[in-house]
Amino acid sequence: MSKLRVVHYINQFFGGIGGEEMADHKPEVKEEIIGPGLAINAGLKDDGEIVATIICGDSYFGENMDEAKETILEMVKKYEPDLFIAGPAFNAGRYGVACGAITEAVQNELGIPAITAMYEENPGVDMYRKSIYIISTKNSAAGMRDAVKKLVPLALKLAKGEEIGTPNEENYIPKGVRKNYFTDKRGSERAVDMLLKKMKGEAFETEYPMPAFDRVDPMPAIKDMSKATIAIVTSGGTVPKGNPDHVESSSASKFGRYSIEGVDDLTAENSETAHGGYDPVYANEDNDRVIPVDILREMEKEGKIGKLYNYYFSTVGNGTAVANANKFGEEIGKELIENGVDAVILTST
């Protein structure tokens, strides 16, 4: 039996082209096994072989989606593959969206089995989970081995036209599809069994998991702004010049706490942005465009607000996991409450 022909899609970073500075890289195809493809190809063993790797910059794909898809589909068709694999994208947002979009296009427009992989909080998941198979990965490339271990078996099943099991069995993110099946216990019995286990504190698994919605009740309006202490918190990445805490440009694991006592203006000499998800030129010229220190100082002097808190808090929202963001919020909120802050201005990018 001949090996399955596989075409692999990756972005400019995993393709070895470059980082954010090369995100505008146009689609190109190489008849080589590159980056993550080495692990994927090894996992395919005698069942398949990567015959071509398509590389495209994340920004180029996102800003020229129709053109990029058309070009990449032509590249894919040339190699007449039995299977198309994109990524893994982990928690890289633009990369995840590109992987989802091209996987869907290859599947729907070319009729070729296609699959991708990314972290469950990647925006590409919500956009494409209902139409394609997306393997669930860890939130960074440190989980590459685990991702490939899950990705390859399901990819081969798709290519061979074999029956696909449940999300738990096959490690893909649920697509929202429910199927009828026959079982030896009717629903009422299964429900009672689960209830008894719950009452005894025993482990059980629901057949219909419900989404968890995080709801925050709004605080009452401030009655007198002229006496209020206002703090600034941002996910826009503003940091002192040199980024002393090394806040990451993507998938941040930390936030910074920085003094603005006596500072009336943010300039190119005293601040910069650590954010890797937008063009930093205008922020680096004047970070008041990200956090309005200058305007708040004016309002403070005019008596429109009582006081600007002496510290601002900054992290990067680009690809940052919700779990980390929740942790940051709890730590920052605790300090603000303890120091009598009345309100927070929360800015993004």
First to last CA, the chain: 53
pLDDT digits (tens, 9 = 90+) for 210-224: 767 778 888 899 999
| Residue 272: per-residue pLDDT | 95
Average pLDDT over residues 308-336: 89
Average pLDDT over residues 109-114: 96
Q: Following CA atoms 136, 138, 139, 141 in sequence, which dihedral angle do they give, to the nearest 10 degrees?
A: -110
Tokens of 336: 């603000």
Q: Of 250, 251, 270, 269, which Cα lies nearest the Cα of 261? A: 270
The percent of residues in the chain predicted with pLDDT above 70, rounded, is 99
The percent of residues in the chain predicted with pLDDT above 90, rounded, is 73
Q: Of 260, 306, 320, which Cα lies nearest the Cα of 93? A: 320
pTM above 0.75, yes or no: no
The mean of the pLDDT values for the chain is 92
| Residue 1: per-residue pLDDT | 60
Q: Which CATH class is domain 4-170?
A: alpha beta
pLDDT digits (tens, 9 = 90+) for 34-55: 999 999 999 999 999 999 999 9
Taking the C-alpha atoms of residue 33 and residue 27, their distance in angstroms, rounded to an integer, is: 16
Decide if pLDDT at 306 tops 70: yes
Angle of CA points 103, 108, 114, to nearest 5° = 35
Average pLDDT over residues 80-102: 93
Average pLDDT over residues 117-123: 90
Q: Of 100, 102, 98, 99, which Cα lies nearest the Cα of 70? A: 102
Structure-model confidence comparison of residues 197 and 182, the more confident one: 197
Find where tokens 């692990």 sit.
39
Decide if pLDDT at 247 tops 80: yes
| Residue 149: per-residue pLDDT | 95
pLDDT digits (tens, 9 = 90+) for 127-165: 899 999 999 999 888 899 999 999 999 999 999 999 998
3-state secondary structure of 55: strand
Average pLDDT over residues 169-193: 86
Decide if pLDDT at 314 tops 80: yes
Q: Tell me the domain boundaries of the chain.
A: 4-170, 225-347
| Residue 250: per-residue pLDDT | 77
pLDDT digits (tens, 9 = 90+) for 254-304: 999 999 999 999 999 999 999 988 889 999 999 999 999 999 999 999 999
3-state secondary structure of 308: strand
pLDDT digits (tens, 9 = 90+) for 62-73: 889 999 999 999
- The highest-confidence range among 61-65, 206-210, 211-215, 307-311, by mean pLDDT, is 307-311
Question: What are phi and psi for residue 49, nearest 5 degrees?
Answer: -150, 135
